[in-house]
Amino acid sequence: MRILGIDPGYATIGFGLIEAQGGRCTPLQYGAVTTPAGADFSYRLQLLYDDMTQLLQTLRPEAAAVEELFFNTNITTGIQVAHGRGIILLACRQAQVPLFEYSPSQVKQAVAGYGKASKHQVMDMTRRLLGLSALPRPDDAADGLALAICHARSRTSLLAALESQTGG
């Protein structure tokens, strides 16, 4: 299964595409979509939508994993990230890519085995799990790959298998 992990935002949006087969994940492509600083915010959202639409058409994922919004102390930035996340959700929906959402602690648990792992621990485990020689850059791309790994591991859990058998 081709899984696209997306780390939402409006300035830098990380993505990582993996092929998940059984318990093995193979990286296919990763990077970041960026919008120009200082540009009108609505213009940045339009660029984000156009770029995400093109990315989804080009990569053709079978599923997308997007991080749930986490607000820190800067509420203004959080609201802007929420706008960008909404654009990403819309682009996935319009491309008819099944969408799955994960909290930061779920991603940390799935990748590093600990829901409160540090960013560096998650990045290093992402590198190891995918057999990469270096940490994925930018950090947002590593986050996108971690989201894809999280979905790969979540969809193969016993609970997910049971739910698919029972239609739950």
Catalytic residue among 51, 62, 67, 124: 67
Radius of gyration (Cα) for the chain, nearest Å? 15
Query: Whole-angstrom Cα distance, residue 131 to residue 111?
Result: 14
Catalytic residue among 51, 101, 124, 140: 140
- Residue 7 falls in the annotated catalytic set: yes
Query: Whole-angstrom Cα distance, residue 1 to residue 24?
Result: 11
Structure token digits, residue 127:
């590198």
Q: What is the DSSP letter of 69?
A: P
Residues paired with residue 20 on neighbouring β-strands, in sequence order: 25
Query: Whole-angstrom Cα distance, residue 159 to residue 146?
Result: 21
Return the active site residues.
7, 67, 140
